[in-house]
């Protein structure tokens, strides 16, 4: 893939993250302000089990997480690769680091998507 | 070997960069360059957090007991403060990222012109955007401090 294409994907993901991560951060850390997006019962915490599992079972939230995860991983790991590549003095090493990051990204995506899906479909929870 | 050849060899081998030290040297680029340094630091902090976050949140797939055990490990004043720093890092990174996207798309750089001496710089067109994102960022950070630490009361 050309560098220019990778860069366009990177900034597109950045634009998507401003919205998605903004809503996620707001709902988790500033729940009183973001109750228009994610209403919580009075006095409850967004990370208590009942709230966590009600989000996990919600089909809209599940779909958002499944978009959010690859977008965040691509944007973050591509940025990380750029930072590391700049500090390296060998193009061969750049490529090796790049592939390690790609494999790490795929592994993180599989794990994240698996736990999100298990929480969504598991009726015992 | 003459000095020109030495420099050419260094550039070819990419030894001419300043390395990590170069991150903290803004030179005459000043404010935009410092914004770039902060963008990198906040970005690295967030990618590190994302990796940890995937594993922490993954505990919910193991059931309520595993989730509560994980929460009891990470719900401490230190972690809460680190989460607040993460929120600040997001605000800074997102607003500066928005500025970079606008500039990438050709906004706030002025109209293109031929490179005639004395050369024109787009700094005067870009700088107000930096001031604007600093103001908006400061506003969001103040609101976050107020809400995150419940300065207005409440739970």
Q: What pLDDT sits at residue B3?
A: 60
What global pTM score does this model have?
0.88
Q: What pLDDT sits at residue B2?
A: 59
Residue A105 tokens, joined: 């990204």
| Average pLDDT over every residue of B92-108 | 95
What share of chain B in percent tops pLDDT 70?
84
Quote the mean pLDDT of chain B.
86
Please write the tens of the pLDDT for every residue from B48-66: 999 999 999 999 999 999 9
Residue B144 tokens, joined: 């976050």
Q: What pLDDT sits at residue B28?
A: 72
User: Length of chain B, please?
Assistant: 155
Taking an 8 Å cut-off on Cβ atoms, the answer to whether A22 and B90 are in contact is: yes
Q: What pLDDT sits at residue B5?
A: 61
Q: How far separated are the first and last CA of chain A, in Å rounded? A: 42
Task: Name the pLDDT band for B24 (thresholds 50, 70, 90).
Answer: confident
Taking an 8 Å cut-off on Cβ atoms, the answer to whether A87 and B20 are in contact is: yes
For residues A22 and B94, give the distance between their C-alpha atoms in angstroms, rounded to a whole number: 8
Instruction: Say whether pLDDT at B8 is over 70.
Output: no
Taking an 8 Å cut-off on Cβ atoms, the answer to whether B148 and A30 are in contact is: yes
For an interface test with A, give the residue of B9, B15, B54, B93 to mutate (most A CBs within 10 A): B54
Tell me if ipTM is over 0.90. Answer: yes
Instruction: Say whether pLDDT at B21 is over 80.
Output: no
For residues B129 and B100, give the distance between their C-alpha atoms in angstroms, rounded to a whole number: 10
For residues A91 and A97, give the distance between their C-alpha atoms in angstroms, rounded to a whole number: 10
Taking an 8 Å cut-off on Cβ atoms, the answer to whether A22 and B15 are in contact is: no
For residues B29 and B18, give the distance between their C-alpha atoms in angstroms, rounded to a whole number: 15
Q: How far does the CA of residue A8 sit from the closest CA of chain B (Å)? A: 10
Nearest to B101 among A11, A25, A80 (CB): A11
Q: Do residues A56 and B60 lie in contact, with contact meaning Cβ atoms separated by under 8 Å?
A: yes
Assign residue A79 the CATH number of its domain: 1.20.1300
Taking an 8 Å cut-off on Cβ atoms, the answer to whether B147 and A76 are in contact is: no
Burial A110-125 (b: 16+ CB within 10 A, else e): eebeebbeebbeeeeb
For residues A39 and B147, give the distance between their C-alpha atoms in angstroms, rounded to a whole number: 16
Q: What pLDDT sits at residue A106?
A: 98
What share of chain B in percent tops pLDDT 90?
58
How many structural domains does chain A have? 1
For residues B32 and A32, give the distance between their C-alpha atoms in angstroms, rounded to a whole number: 34
Q: Tell the burial category of A17 from Cβ atoms under 10 Å away from its Cβ (0-12, 13-18, 19+).
A: buried
Asked if A73 has any chain B CB less than 8 Å from its own CB, the reply is yes
Taking an 8 Å cut-off on Cβ atoms, the answer to whether B147 and A112 are in contact is: no
Can you give the residue range of the structural domain that contains A33? Answer: 2-121
Asked if A19 has any chain B CB less than 8 Å from its own CB, the reply is no
Please write the tens of the pLDDT for every residue from B128-141: 999 999 999 999 99
Q: What DSSP designation does B126 have?
A: H
For residues B155 and B150, give the distance between their C-alpha atoms in angstroms, rounded to a whole number: 7
Low-confidence ranges of chain A (pLDDT < 50): none
């Amino acid at each position: 893939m050309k560098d220019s294409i990778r860069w366009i994907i990177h900034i597109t993901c950045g634009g998507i993250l401003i919205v998605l991560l903004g809503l996620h951060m707001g709902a988790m850390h500033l729940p009183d302000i973001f109750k228009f997006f994610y209403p919580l019962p009075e006095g409850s915490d967004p990370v208590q089990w009942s709230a966590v599992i009600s989000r996990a079972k919600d089909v809209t939230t599940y779909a958002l997480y499944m978009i959010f995860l690859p977008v965040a991983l691509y944007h973050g790991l591509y940025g990380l690769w750029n930072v590391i590549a700049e500090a390296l003095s060998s193009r061969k090493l750049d490529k090796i680091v790049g592939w390690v990051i790609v494999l790490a990204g795929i592994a993180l995506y599989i794990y994240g998507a698996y736990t999100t899906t298990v929480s969504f479909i598991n009726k015992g929870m | 070997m003459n000095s020109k050849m030495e420099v050419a060899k260094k550039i070819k081998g990419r030894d001419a960069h300043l390395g990590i030290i170069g991150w903290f040297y803004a030179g005459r680029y000043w404010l935009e360059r410092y914004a770039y340094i902060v963008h990198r630091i906040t970005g690295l902090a967030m990618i590190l957090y994302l990796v940890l976050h995937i594993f922490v949140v993954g505990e919910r797939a193991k059931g309520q007991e595993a989730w509560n055990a994980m929460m009891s490990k990470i719900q401490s004043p230190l972690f809460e403060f680190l989460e607040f720093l993460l929120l600040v890092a997001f605000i800074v990174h997102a607003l500066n990222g928005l500025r970079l996207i606008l500039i990438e798309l050709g906004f706030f750089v002025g109209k293109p012109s031929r490179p005639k001496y004395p050369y024109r710089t787009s700094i005067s067109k870009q700088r107000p955007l930096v001031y604007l994102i600093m103001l908006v960022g400061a506003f969001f950070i103040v609101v976050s401090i107020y809400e995150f630490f419940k300065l207005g009361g409440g739970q």
